Structure 1
Amino acid sequence: MKFTERLKAGVLLDNPVFMQTIGLCPALATTTSLSNAIGMGAAATVVLICSNVVISLLRKFIPDKIRIAAFISIIATFVTLIQMLLNAYIPSLAASLGLFLPLIVVNCIILGRAEAYASKNKVLPSALDGVCMGLGFTFALVLMGFFRELLGAGTIAAGIIGDKGIQIPGLVDYPATMMILPAGGFLVMGFILAAIQKIMSGKEGK
Structure 2
Amino acid sequence: MSGKYGQIVKDGLWENNGVLCMLLGMCPTMAMTGTATNGFGMGIATAVVMAASNMMVAMFRNYVTHEVRIPVYILIVAANVTFVDLAMNAWMHELYKVLGLFIPLIVSNCLPLARLEAYAAKEPVLPSLMDGWFMGLGFTLALTMIGAVREIVGQGTLFADAALLLGPSFTFLETRIMPADMGILVLILPPGGFLVAGLMVVAKRMIDLAAGKEIKMAGAHSV
Shared topology, TM-score over 0.5? yes
After superposition, residues 169-180 of structure 1 pair within 5 angstroms as: 169-170=178-179, 172-180=180-188
Indicate how the Cα distance of structure 1 residues 154 and 46 shifts in structure 2: closer, same or farther if over 3 A, else same: same
CA–CA separation in structure 1 for the residues paired with 2:204 and 2:97: 33
Name the TM-score, length of structure 2 as normaliser.
Answer: 0.86
SS at match of 1:120: coil
The answer on whether the counterparts of 1:7 and 1:132 sit within 8 Å (CA) in structure 2 is yes
Indicate how the Cα distance of structure 1 residues 38 and 63 shifts in structure 2: closer, same or farther if over 3 A, else same: same
| Structure 2: segments with no counterpart, 5+ residues | 163-169, 214-223
SS at match of 2:150: helix
CA–CA separation in structure 2 for the residues paired with 1:176 and 1:164: 22
Instruction: Give 1:164 deviation, angstroms.
Output: 9.7
Partner of 2:202: 194
Instruction: Give 1:196 deviation, angstroms.
Output: 2.0
The answer on whether the counterparts of 2:78 and 2:107 sit within 8 Å (CA) in structure 1 is yes
Instruction: Give 1:167 deviation, angstroms.
Output: 1.1
Instruction: Give 1:125 deviation, angstroms.
Output: 0.9
Paired residue type of 1:102: P
Partner of 1:131: 133
CA–CA separation in structure 1 for the residues paired with 2:54 and 2:63: 15
Partner of 2:77: 75
- Percent identity between the two aligned chains: 40
CA–CA separation in structure 2 for the residues paired with 1:164 and 1:4: 30
Instruction: Give 1:63 deviation, angstroms.
Output: 2.0
The answer on whether the counterparts of 2:24 and 2:110 sit within 8 Å (CA) in structure 1 is yes
* Count of aligned pairs between the two proteins: 204
Offset from partner CA, 1:123-148 (integer Å, 9 cap, x none): 01111111221111111111101111
Partner of 1:100: 102
CA–CA separation in structure 1 for the residues paired with 2:19 and 2:158: 22
The answer on whether the counterparts of 2:37 and 2:160 sit within 8 Å (CA) in structure 1 is yes
CA–CA separation in structure 1 for the residues paired with 2:147 and 2:71: 33
After superposition, residues 38-49 of structure 1 pair within 5 angstroms as: 38-49=40-51
SS at match of 2:121: helix
The answer on whether the counterparts of 1:155 and 1:164 sit within 8 Å (CA) in structure 2 is no
| Structure 1: segments with no counterpart, 5+ residues | none
Name the TM-score, length of structure 1 as normaliser.
Answer: 0.93
Q: Among 7, 17, 20, which residue is 1:18 paired with?
A: 20
The answer on whether the counterparts of 2:55 and 2:120 sit within 8 Å (CA) in structure 1 is yes
Instruction: Give 1:35 deviation, angstroms.
Output: 1.1
CA–CA separation in structure 1 for the residues paired with 2:178 and 2:28: 30
SS at match of 2:145: helix
The answer on whether the counterparts of 2:157 and 2:178 sit within 8 Å (CA) in structure 1 is no
